[in-house]
Amino acid sequence: MTRLPTSRPSRVVIEPVSPVVDGGRFPAKAALGETVTVVADVFAEGHDAIAGALRWRSVPAKGRPSKWVELPLHFHVNDRWSASFTPAKLGRHEVQIDGWSAPAETWRRGTAVKVAAGVDVDVELQGGIAIVERLLTHAADHGTDDDVELLATFRSQLAAGDTSGLDEPQWADLFWRLEARDPVATLPAPLAIDVDPERARFSAWYEFFPRSRWSTDDVDDIDDDGHGTLRDAIDRLDHVAEMGFDVLYLPPIHPIGTTNRKGANNTTDAGPDDVGSPWGIGASEGGHTAVHPDLGTLDDVDALVAACREREIDLALDIAFQCTPDHPWVTEHPEWFAKRADGSIQYAENPPKKYQDIYPIDFETDAWESLWNALADVFRFWIDRGVRIFRVDNPHTKAFPFWEWCLGTLRREHPDTIFLAEAFTRPRVMERLAKVGFNQSYTYFTWRQASWELREYYTDLSTRTVDYFRPNAWPNTPDILTEQLQHGGRPVFVSRAILAATLSANWGVYGPAFELLEHRAVRPGSEEYLDSEKYQLRAWDLDDPASIAPLLTRLNEIRRSHPALQHLHTLRFHDTDSAGILCYSKTDPAGVGDPILVIVNLDARERHDGYVHVDPGSFGLGLGDDDEYEAHDLLGGGTYRWQGWHNYVDLTPGRGAAHVFAIRHPADGAT
Amino acid sequence: MTRLPTSRPSRVVIEPVSPVVDGGRFPAKAALGETVTVVADVFAEGHDAIAGALRWRSVPAKGRPSKWVELPLHFHVNDRWSASFTPAKLGRHEVQIDGWSAPAETWRRGTAVKVAAGVDVDVELQGGIAIVERLLTHAADHGTDDDVELLATFRSQLAAGDTSGLDEPQWADLFWRLEARDPVATLPAPLAIDVDPERARFSAWYEFFPRSRWSTDDVDDIDDDGHGTLRDAIDRLDHVAEMGFDVLYLPPIHPIGTTNRKGANNTTDAGPDDVGSPWGIGASEGGHTAVHPDLGTLDDVDALVAACREREIDLALDIAFQCTPDHPWVTEHPEWFAKRADGSIQYAENPPKKYQDIYPIDFETDAWESLWNALADVFRFWIDRGVRIFRVDNPHTKAFPFWEWCLGTLRREHPDTIFLAEAFTRPRVMERLAKVGFNQSYTYFTWRQASWELREYYTDLSTRTVDYFRPNAWPNTPDILTEQLQHGGRPVFVSRAILAATLSANWGVYGPAFELLEHRAVRPGSEEYLDSEKYQLRAWDLDDPASIAPLLTRLNEIRRSHPALQHLHTLRFHDTDSAGILCYSKTDPAGVGDPILVIVNLDARERHDGYVHVDPGSFGLGLGDDDEYEAHDLLGGGTYRWQGWHNYVDLTPGRGAAHVFAIRHPADGAT
């Protein structure tokens, strides 16, 4: 006979629903100021009342965990319960769920029904007195004076056969606090949640190459004045801030190798004047902790960090763990690189292509311990200089166990750091990087262009992976000028910016190429820019009247003033009559209303019109199926009076191809 | 600084996909003779080759686990891998997944590409020789003579600059067997799979009340001859077997209490001749281990078990853990029942309704240990008499931890037992019962009647919960005569039988009420039968020409001869032009073809016609989009020549309202 449990298990079972990543194997993600809603299925056999609590606490890397904070679980439907809290500290948190039998509530509910049905309840009243006396005993030690007074009065009423107190509203809270939770059910282990800085959840990134020249720089001629510097970057911050971006991301700022350096347009015959790719890291001047002499000095980095901070911008550096043949590590630590059979160092290749300017790091080296520590030290070097955000280049070519250790270690030391994974590879690989610790992730957004593609992709992102994968949507990057951007003209730049900024709580652009509508590819069929800044200096005329900087500015303004757009959880797509029109809404998950409805014509050339079908109830404004409401266009201005489920839109490229509506109850009036 | 791992972790990560229940908290389910396919996402960073293995073993309750059997994982798409095995023993099994870097394959693949591109591979050949020599060393101890010979030849070829062997097909298997798996990645713990008898997966149940009278009984007048017996039940087995049912399920056969006994049609004023409900268990003659004297004796049970076995039928007994006031436990073990405040035993109630003929068992009793053991002993008592299948009444009103312990214990003692959960309650509760050990579950099938309802429900059953929840579909039960059956006439009995028998691998009917189209409800709005056998004796004329026994017989024949219908995993719905027509297909998951396509007019009254839209590729016959194929109607006879995705059907109630097609490649010819 199999042994019985050592004590009677609780009748209550708890099945965690959200947030939970791989059954608890990885922490879920939250952000400072964000409401965390924990959902679980909690139930027992039969129909007796049960109750439950959410407990949460902060578990700092150093020092003791905070005290558990306990909140009542609220019932929804079909055994689903939830409770919400808003963490006030960065770093690791834990949540635990308790469930227990609630016999006092079972008694109260059953007796009230019997009283209402006119059934004799003499025996129930006797039972009730016993229950109230048990609660009174507990209240003497753990309750308030009010609790004791309420219960004593209730006992007297019941003893006198007076059942009028059964339906008083106070019992729910009082029973929850004072009923014996014996035995209590819990999850086998607490679930971990990592609380990140707010900017991990909601951010707008702007990327530029500091070595290129801007018309706003303090020079006579933007075309002739050579290499831009970090000091120039400081001067450009106002432009970035005015557009409303809050993360400035610079490609690698380190010395660039000369051996096998790439020339303009990625040619292999670089001349002495070719500046090389910033991702070709390492030269005699140093490696991952050095600054390219033409860009400036470590002091300039400090000045840039400080200047960013004044504008509430975060500086994001690019960390690309790879080396040119000239990187100091190649001679100092040859054990970190794989060898070919002839003893030479293995260069990067994608057979039969060879990339002899780059030596990948060998994550299967026997010297993995010194390697891992050295790589973590690169982050620490820049963290010590005030940098808190890192865009990690090609993380999917470095071992997952390394990232889990490295990011976990750095986050324990500095819970205010943010890491963006630059990986456009297989879905499971991108998801794993997010699980092991990356706070944000590049996405397939760039290539999701049809209505059904965007709907399917963002439905997946906002449901299946939402507890750990934070998409950062980019219409372009220095590596990706999509066919659509090459050939669609200004309407595509406009619609892609609107989509990225409103579908994703995190978005970014590579500028000034983006706002200046740069669309020339190096050759047909390629997504590489012609005369790419990756390989040469460029000059940008920011005063170009074609610039869509005003649109980017407006989008960032809208995002800041509407909490609905600062989250992903509430994204919901709506049907439209036209496959060319995408329609979706978001609401503020904190429940303070402010619904946003976005409708975009995805066609760069053709007008599309038709009905969009939106459940007015989905706005959270208490609207019924046939109610009127106001749709105020935050982009184009104007306020429409809409009604019910079906409303007509007419969207023409170049002349208002999108609506970003703030939805308001008509009673609130137009503004 | 956070400590490094004690040794370099494997680059490979493994994320289990299926079968896995709540991250491994509960065992998944399989059955003897069923192919178990284990699916996992297995990947490493970058693009180097990896390889993986599935290991599985039997872990009997007594004795040592069997040796691990190892199989190669096969790659599908997007980092998804799988391997399949067919367990040959009942009881607990474990599966584990291994993953490792495959540098020999990385080298072979990359070198072959370079050779094809005409790139110089001198250094690659040197590297290859080193790899082959490593494999040779390993092959000397662990490989075959053939391995050694192959590798030696290959080494000589490479040394001579001959690359012709690179693309030989043998390397995949040889590298998989002989490459160093160092370090190897595994799941943190093996996943458990419980292997049940085949009948847990594929069964056809027939329920009848042995105390009622059948026209086939050896009596003069079926209406006047009193109480049927277990000996009568033996005589009826041929009818059950001829219809093709393989589980005979009897309502409780125990002595029935007299205190507050219910009369005919559930009245509360039973007279001395009222037989009472079989679920009112316990009288002076005994309780859960006694046989009702009017039904027979324990010897008769033995005879019935033996007679069933002769016909390859399993006898299923009903276990209902509740007691009448006359049950021996009430006096012998008053501690197992809750008390009211006046000291009397708490009867069942659903306030304000009282069920004073039933005392529920108190799972929160302090005497839970003796109670749990006594309940398990009830099962053991019948198991010792040869019963292997139990239909458990109202399991959702007994504590989940009890079931997890009880079913786990019994299954370790008797892995050939099968438990069906009679629970038509909240979805999470029904799912939990399956997780904690019930092999089969009643479902909402009975109330899912519209096309979209059936599609949505069975899509969920065949995907989300398929690893642990086995639906047993019943068109009727003694408790459930749906409105649809009451008013839809014969066409509804026909369509519901076809749906139950072909949607579900497990199905059952409560007869003879079902095949004789009994449809009279006790009152409008009720799902209770008029003159229900639950409260009185009935007489059934099996020779009624309206009987649909021939249809049930044919359905069970079709199910037996078509493996596609013996599983749930491959169920797939197809679009139709008419909301009144449901269309779905199944294929044999073992991959030997035999697709079945079912098309049912769900409307009891109206003819429906229109196109059904089925991907010919989904049949697994290698059919292209425009190919012709044959649809042979297993129900109505006749063979249709269909082509491509869109084919027309015309279904009229009463005159062929459904097709159950066997789909054949036209080359196979009609039979």
Chain-chain contact of A43 with B127 (C-beta, under 8 angstroms) = no
- How far apart CA B229 and CA B293 sit, in angstroms, is 9
> What's the pLDDT at A182?
85
Six-digit token string for B58: 């039997």
Tokens linked to B211:
């105390």
**The two three-digit tokens of residue A194, written as one number:** 């990592």
Nearest 5 degrees, angle CA B120-CA B121-CA B127?
155
Parallel/antiparallel/unpaired status of strands B247-250 and B314-319: parallel
| Whole-angstrom distance, CA of residue B25 vs CA of residue B667 | 48
pLDDT of the residue at A655: 85
The residue of chain B with its CA nearest to that of A183 is B364
Q: Residue B413 — φ and ψ, nearest 5°? A: -75, -40
Which residues, 6+ apart, have CB-to-CB distance to B141 below 8 Å? none
- What 3-state class would DSSP assign to A257? coil
- C-alpha closest to that of A253 among A218, A222, A225, A289: A289
| Mean pLDDT in residue range A454-479 | 98
Q: Where are the alpha helices (DSSP H) in B263-399?
A: 298-310, 328-332, 368-384
| Average pLDDT of the residues of chain A | 95
| Type of residue at A409 | T
How large is the average pLDDT for residues B560-587?
Answer: 95
Q: Which pLDDT band holds residue A671 (cuts at 50, 70, 90)?
A: very low
Measured in angstroms, the CA of A464 and the nearest CA of chain B are apart by: 13
Check CB contact under 8 Å for B4 and A373. yes
Neighboring chain A residues of B340 at a CB cutoff of 8 Å: 123, 127
**Min distance A376 CA to chain B CA atoms (Å):** 10
Decide if B348 contacts B382 (C-beta within 8 A). no
Comparing CA positions, the residue from A508, A510, A512 lying closest to residue A527 is: A510
Beta bridge partners of B52: B99
Find the CB nearest A2 among B188, B352, B408: B408
**Residues of B noted as catalytic:** 393, 422
Determine the distance in angstroms separating the CA of A124 from the nearest CA of chain B, rounded to an integer: 7
ipTM score of the complex?
0.93
* Residues B303-322, mean pLDDT to the nearest whole number: 98
Query: Which helix (H) or strand (E) is A145 found in, with range?
Result: helix A145-159
Rounded mean pLDDT of B371-387? 98
Active-site residue (options: A98, A422, A518, A630)? A422
pLDDT digits (tens, 9 = 90+) for A212-247: 999 988 888 877 668 999 999 999 999 999 999 999
Nearest residue on chain A to B114, alpha-carbon basis: A352
- Residue B221's pLDDT is what? 80
Read off the tokens for B25. 């908290």
Within 8 A of B79 by CB-CB distance, chain A residues are 426, 428-429
**pTM above the 0.90 mark?**
yes
Distance CA B430, CA A403 (A): 41
SS3 label, residue B36: strand
Which chain B residues are closer than 8 Å to A351 by Cβ?
109-111, 113-114, 117, 119
Q: Does residue A653 have a cis bond before it (omega within 30 degrees)?
A: no
Structure token digits, residue B497? 């039988």
Query: How are beta strands A36-43 and A80-85 bridged, if at all?
Result: antiparallel
Question: For residues A180 and A162, what is the distance between their CA atoms, to the nearest angstrom?
Answer: 25
Give me the residue from B22, B363, B376 closest to A23, CB to CB: B22
* H helix runs in B385-450, sequence order: 400-413, 427-435
What is the model's pLDDT at position B671? Answer: 44
Chain B residues near residue A125 by CB distance under 8 angstroms: 341
More reliable by pLDDT, B587 or B351: B587
CB A610 within 8 A of CB A576: yes
Cis peptide before A19 (omega within 30 of 0): yes
Containing A473, the helix (H) or strand (E) segment is: strand A471-473
**Between chains, do B364 and A8 touch, taking CB under 8 Å as contact?**
yes
Chain A residues in contact with B350 by the CB 8 A cut-off are: 47
Structural domains present in chain B: 1-101+184-196 (2.60.40.10), 103-178 (1.20.58.80), 208-323+362-564 (3.20.20.80), 569-668 (2.60.40.1180)
Q: Looking at chain A, which residue has its C-alpha nearest residue B109?
A: A351
pLDDT at res. B670:
45
Interface mutation vs chain B, best among A3, A7, A8, most B CBs within 10 Å? A8
Do A399 and B368 count as a contact with CB atoms less than 8 A apart?
A: no
Which tokens in the block code for residue A149?
Answer: 């007074």
Mutating which of B8, B50, B336, B406 best tests the A interface, going by the most A Cβ atoms within 10 A?
A: B8
Q: Kindly determine whether residue A426 and residue B401, on different chains, have CB atoms separated by under 8 Å.
A: no
Helices assigned H by DSSP within B70-192: 103-116, 122-142, 145-159, 171-178
Distances from the Cα of A482 to the Cαs of A477, A495, B120, in angstroms? 9, 14, 35
* A116, A340, A398: residue with CB nearest B127: A340
Rounded Cα gap, residues A233 and A225, in angstroms: 15
SS3 of B267-289: CCCCCCCCCCCCCCECECCECCC
Residue-wise pLDDT for B184-221, tens only, equals: 999 999 999 999 999 999 999 999 999 999 998 888 88
Q: Do A78 and B426 touch (CB under 8 A)?
A: yes
Cβ <8 Å between A401 and B340: no
A643-668 average pLDDT score: 91
Active site residue A393: yes
Facing residue for A8 by CB, picked from B22, B125, B368: B368
Cβ distance of B45 and A429 shorter than 8 Å: yes
Structure tokens at A451: 């209505």
Chain A residues with CB-CB distance to B8 below 8 A: 364, 366, 368
Please, which pLDDT band fits residue A15 given cuts at 50, 70 and 90?
A: very high
List b or e across A188-224, with b for residues whose CB sees 16 or more CB atoms inside 10 angstroms. Answer: eebbbbbbbbebbbbbbbbbbbbbbbbebbebeebee
Our measurement of the distance from residue B414's CA atom to the centroid of its chain's CA atoms, rounded to an integer in Å, reads 18
User: What was the pLDDT predicted at B54?
Assistant: 98
Write down how long chain B is: 671
**Shortest CA distance from B426: residue in chain A:** A78
pLDDT, tens digit (0-9, with 9 covering 90-100), for A388-426: 999 999 999 999 999 999 999 999 999 999 999 999 999
Distance from CA of A282 to the nearest CA of B (A): 22
Contact B8 A342 (CB under 8 A): no
Cα–Cα distance measured from residue B241 to residue A603, given in angstroms and rounded to the nearest whole number: 65
- The sign of the CA dihedral A172, A178, A179, A181 is positive
Q: Do B13 and A114 touch (CB under 8 A)?
A: no
Does residue B669 register a pLDDT over 60? no
As a whole number of angstroms, the distance between CA A442 and CA A430 comes to: 8
Smallest CA–CA separation between A582 and chain B, in Å?
Answer: 25
pLDDT digits (tens, 9 = 90+) for A181-218: 989 999 999 999 999 999 999 999 999 999 999 998 88
Judge whether residue A467 has pLDDT over 50: yes
How many contacts (CB atoms, under 8 Å) link A and B?
Answer: 169
Please, what is the end-to-end C-alpha distance for chain B in angstroms? Answer: 75
Closest CA to B519 of B482, B494, B467: B482
Percent of chain B at pLDDT > 90 equals 92
Q: Kindly report the nearest CA distance between residue B374 and chain A, in angstroms.
A: 12
**Minimal C-alpha gap between A127 and chain B (Å):** 5
Angle made by CA atoms A288, A294, A296, in degrees to the nearest 5: 70
pLDDT of residue B668: 66
Residue B666: the pLDDT is 81
The answer to whether residue B11 scores a pLDDT higher than 80 is yes
The answer to whether B10 contacts A41, with C-beta atoms less than 8 Å apart, is no
- Residue A669: is its pLDDT beyond 70? no
Q: Which of the residues A393, A515, A603, A630 is marked catalytic?
A: A393
Chain A CB contacts of B161 under 8 Å are: none
